Amino acid sequence: MLTTALERLGAKVNFAIPNRFEHGYGPNSDYFEQLHTEGTEVLITVDNGISGIEQIAFAKSLGMTVIVTDHHEMGDVLPEADAVIHPRHPEGNYPFAELAGVGVAFKLASALLGKPPLDLLEFVAIGTIADLVPLEDENRYMVKEGIRRLRRTQRPGIKALMQVSGHEQNALSEETIGFTIGPRLNAPGRLGDADPAVDLLKSEDEQQALGIAEELNDLNKERQQLVKEIAKEAQEQVEIRYGDHVPHVLVIEGEGWNPGVVGIVSSRLTEKYYRPSIILSLDRETGMAKGSARSIEGFDLYKELSKNASILPHFGGHAMAAGMSLKIEDVELLRSNLNEQAKEVLTTEDLQPIVSIDVPLALDEIDIASIEALEKIRPFGMGFPKPVFLLEQLDTISVRKIGSAKDHLKLEMGDRSERLDAIFFGAGALADEMAPQSKLSLTGDLQINEWNGNKKAQLLVEDVKCDEWQLFDYRGIRDPARWLPMIPDQAQFIAFSEEAIQHFAPFFKNIPIALIGRDELHPSFSIVLLDMPSAEEQLKQVMEKTLAGRVYLHLHVHDSMYFEKMPDRQQFGWYYSFLKKRETFDLHNQIDMLSKHKGWKKDVIKFMTKVFYELEFVTLENGKVTMLTSAGKRDLAEAPSYKKRQQQIKLEELLLYAPYQDLKKVFDSLRETEAVEEEKLWT
């Protein structure tokens, strides 16, 4: 933007972007000397320089005219440049303090040209959004007008960027800049030489522009992969070092990490753990660490880093983001200092992310016209965020992972009359934590999803909440290897029989299994019920002792009785008469004959024999069944075997073969009983 404005004035202009790998962050004396040697007479900094006291003084000593334009936080001392242009200059009284770096440069260009170069607002819009400054006051006007112009620009560079990214130019928005244009323009500088980004924007040749845009697109993919790898390593460090006890400030370092992408990694960590974070790349050869930081509300990074200036030879930024370099030997001291400082300014509540709700909505209040009306108040961004909508207690119709890596979540919510699709980016893993038909509350941004001319409302989810306990049904999946990966690490595995422990031992070699009646159960948010209980009372006992919020059901059964059913009274009556007519029935040798004659399974005959034995109707010795003439009348249900089988069939019907909704009601009733009993203790 500034080079274009200066060229219009007839200036002979060159641009120089410091390579962060060679020159670090901000002004660099060696680089200034190189530029002077190459013939530079006037040095204008853009979006940097305010903290480069020594470097600016050095540039002046070389005889160059130096103009500093910046918007970052100022120290107590300002650089002794020929001019310092800053919206918060202590000797100035500029009415708007939140200009982006490009906005400050635009003010210089406007002053030099005698009027604002409105066509250059295309560049101002891109830089303002990418700089994450509040979209208020002047910023808002410049971005809105800049986007309007970008939608119809003929600049080959912009058109080429839109082409390689697969976006329609006439639909360009602040989101297109933030998530498509900005990252691609940023990519070369993060990986090495940033010049191609400027070359692209200044290009007047369509073919040349397309070639550079494709190069930037490839670099952006490379940058994304680097971020993914370093973020994974950084998160592993956090988990290993701290586990569940994450400190107030995260300072994570790694050898060989690309300094150009650590800022993005820091953003990821801050988003994941909701902590201020610093990601440092260590260079053992120089003994230095370079890094970037991101913060949360309540922790002013620049202010807190300033307290450590003695160990930070280079640092700069503002309240929410910063860059720095320091000796590797001072990293531990910085970590300790910042955490002590954070304890002074951050409360426990400050460390809990809060979603501010703008509009609670019912499902039937959502319509395309209302969403389209919201489009008229764009652009949204820092200082003017999109309205956050809340939809409470919606029924879940379907949950699935989407994306090539299955790392995004798609939900279908609603009922028979009203439905809403919802997309939660980066939350694919949550699919394993959402039970079927759960009631969920969602917050997010309402959008219009258009496909083949059909418009449909869609919620871009910011957060999701489930207030109720959840039941996960793995009853029909026999192979534990298929459902074990879905179980949380801290889940308590529970068996009701020794046989179940033996059955699952080969699958769960390093997982302890609690046996009912032998082991003490402990409170656990997640429990896995491996097999069938022998009585409903056992299930009640488990729920009372574990207080589980998530129940994972497998309910293995060795011999199901449900489909075998109980022999009816007619069968028992016939067998009783059969035994009464014979002196002795040889169960071992004659059971096959009886089985074929009646079409009964041999297990049925053995079961009825056992019932008669328990009721003292017969004697049983060496497989010989003999009717007792003294046997009196007794109810079949008095026999323990009959009672046990009757109970097992009932339990299997209740737990093993019941539809999901009926099963949920069974556990709901158990939990209600548990709640009533608990209430009695306190009243």
CB 293 within 8 A of CB 277: yes
Q: What is the CATH code of the structural domain delimited by 471-558+656-682?
A: 3.40.50
Q: Give the Cα separation of 656 and 650 in Å (integer).
A: 10
Residue 10 burial (CB count, 10 A): 7
The 550-556 sheet, strands edge to edge: 470-473, 550-556, 526-531, 492-495, 513-515
∠ CA 84-90-93, rounded to 5°:
95
What type of residue sits at position 87? P
- Is the confidence at residue 676, as pLDDT, over 60? no
CB-based contacts of 672: which residues, under 8 Å, 6+ apart? none
CB 492 within 8 A of CB 524: yes
Matching residue, tokens 């397309």: 210
The radius of gyration computed from the CA coordinates of the chain, to the nearest angstrom, equals 36
Residue 304: exposed, middle, or buried by beta-carbon count in 10 A (0-12, 13-18, 19+)?
Answer: buried
Calculate mean pLDDT across residues 390-397: 94
- Is the confidence at residue 414, as pLDDT, over 50? yes
Calculate mean pLDDT across residues 330-350: 97
- The H or E element containing residue 198 is helix 195-202
488-513 burial by CB neighbour count: b if 16+ within 10 A, else e?
eeebbbbbbbeebbebbeeeeeeeeb
Q: Give the Cα separation of 605 and 596 in Å (integer).
A: 11
HEC string of 318-369 equals CCCEEEEEEEHHHHHHHHHHHHHHHHHHCCCHHHCCCCCCCEEECHHHCCHH
Strands 624-627 and 585-586: antiparallel
Calculate mean pLDDT across residues 429-433: 90
Check residue 540 and give its pLDDT: 92
Check residue 630 and give its pLDDT: 80
Percent of the chain with pLDDT over 70: 98
Q: Give the Cα separation of 389 and 360 in Å (integer).
A: 6
Per residue in 51-96, pLDDT (tens digit) is 899 999 999 999 999 999 999 999 899 999 999 999 999 999 999 9
Check residue 350 and give its pLDDT: 95
Calculate mean pLDDT across residues 328-350: 97
Per residue in 650-666, pLDDT (tens digit) is 999 999 999 999 999 99
Name 84's bridge partners: 68
- Is the confidence at residue 677, as pLDDT, over 50? no
Matching residue, tokens 């609670």: 360
- Fold of the domain spanning 562-638: Arc Repressor Mutant, subunit A (1.10.10)
Check residue 509 and give its pLDDT: 84
- For the CA atoms of 336, 339, 344, 345, what is the dihedral angle to 10 degrees? 140
CB 102 within 8 A of CB 127: yes
Matching residue, tokens 């053995």: 606
- Is the confidence at residue 361, as pLDDT, over 70? yes
- Is the confidence at residue 618, as pLDDT, over 70? yes
- Is the confidence at residue 351, as pLDDT, over 50? yes
Q: Quick one: which of 555, 552, 557, 547 has its CA closest to 491?
A: 552
Check residue 681 and give its pLDDT: 39
Per residue in 596-613, pLDDT (tens digit) is 999 999 999 999 999 999
CB 51 within 8 A of CB 72: yes
Calculate mean pLDDT across residues 567-575: 95
Q: Give the Cα separation of 584 and 541 in Å (integer).
A: 46
Q: Give the Cα separation of 458 and 366 in Å (integer).
A: 10
Check residue 467 and give its pLDDT: 87
Per residue in 216-233, pLDDT (tens digit) is 999 999 999 999 999 999
DSSP 8-class letter at 669: H
What is the token pair recorded at 265? 């990694």
Q: Quick one: which of 131, 535, 532 has its CA closest to 320?
A: 131
HEC string of 217-254 equals HHHHHHHHHHHHHHHHHHHHHHHHHHCCCCCCCEEEEE
What are the residue boundaries of the structural domains of the chain, listed by start? Answer: 1-221, 246-351, 359-467, 471-558+656-682, 562-638
Does the domain formed by 246-351 have CATH 3.40.1050.10? no
What type of residue sits at position 515? L
CB 124 within 8 A of CB 103: yes
Residue 320 φ/ψ, nearest 5 degrees: -105, -10
Note the helical H segments in 512-659.
536-546, 569-581, 587-598, 602-614, 640-651
* CA 588 vs CA 115, 598, 621: distances in Å: 110, 17, 11
Task: Grade residue 510 by pLDDT with cuts at 50, 70 and 90.
Answer: confident
Q: Give the Cα separation of 74 and 302 in Å (integer).
A: 10
Q: Give the Cα separation of 250 and 234 in Å (integer).
A: 10
Name 419's bridge partners: 414
Q: Quick one: which of 267, 272, 281 has its CA closest to 238?
A: 272
Mean pLDDT, the chain, as a whole number?
Answer: 93
- Is the confidence at residue 352, as pLDDT, over 70? yes
CATH (one of 3.10.20.310, 1.10.730.10, 2.40.50.460, 3.40.50.150) for 359-467: 2.40.50.460
Matching residue, tokens 């809105």: 144
DSSP 8-class letter at 309: G
Q: Give the Cα separation of 646 and 568 in Å (integer).
A: 12
CATH-assigned architecture of domain 1-221: Alpha-Beta Complex (3.90)
∠ CA 222-225-231, rounded to 5°:
140
Calculate mean pLDDT across residues 339-351: 96
Q: Give the Cα separation of 34 and 434 in Å (integer).
A: 60
- Is the confidence at residue 375, as pLDDT, over 80? yes
What is the token pair recorded at 329? 């030997």
**Weakest mean pLDDT among 18-22, 150-154, 264-268, 402-406:** 18-22
pTM of the model: 0.77
Return the SS3 of 601: coil
Per residue in 178-219, pLDDT (tens digit) is 999 999 999 999 999 999 999 999 999 999 999 999 999 999
- For the CA atoms of 394, 399, 403, 404, what is the dihedral angle to 10 degrees? 170
Check residue 680 and give its pLDDT: 43
Check residue 673 and give its pLDDT: 57
Residues in the chain: 683
Q: Is the peptide bond before 360 cis (omega within 30 degrees of 0)?
A: no
Check residue 22 and give its pLDDT: 82
Q: Give the Cα separation of 286 and 166 in Å (integer).
A: 42
Check residue 517 and give its pLDDT: 92
In whole angstroms, what separates CA 254 from the centre of its chain? 23
